Amino acid sequence: MTSSSSLEARAISRYVRVSPYKVRRILNQIRGRSYQDSVILLKYMPYKVCSIILKILFSAVSNAKQSFGKNDNLFVISEARADEAPFLKRFRPHAQGRGFPIKKRMSHIIIKVKVV
């Protein structure tokens, strides 16, 4: 017989062109919440990254349904994290002929859902 802690599915989105600092601000809000609550929060938050996180969350729940055949109401977000990805290096002209480096950051977003 399997324990409920092993019933966990995940979804990963790599090289998302959003800074991990901006993604973590949203992920901290949904971590530990139920799937239904998280969807409601993400739909009404005014940030660009919410639509990206919502797609990843839908994918994780879809993976869980495919693997375990459980209902939507039973899922809780067990892990939500944004890791640093390689960044794009760009330069902006500055005073006296110098170049000012700009880092265009990217993220790897990982969401895991488990059955309660």
pLDDT in tens, 38-65: 999 999 999 999 999 999 999 999 999 9
What is the homologous superfamily of the domain 9-115 according to CATH? Answer: Ribosomal protein L22/L17 (3.90.470.10)
* Domain residue spans of the chain: 9-115
pTM for the full model?
A: 0.87
Closest residue by Cα to residue 38 from 73, 5, 4, 62: 73
Does the pLDDT of residue 2 top 50, yes or no? no
Is residue 71 within 8 Å of residue 7, measured between CB atoms? Answer: no
pLDDT in tens, 69-115: 888 888 999 999 999 999 999 999 999 999 999 999 999 999 999 98
Cα separations (Å) of 21 from 11, 48, 71, 85, 108?
A: 20, 13, 32, 12, 12
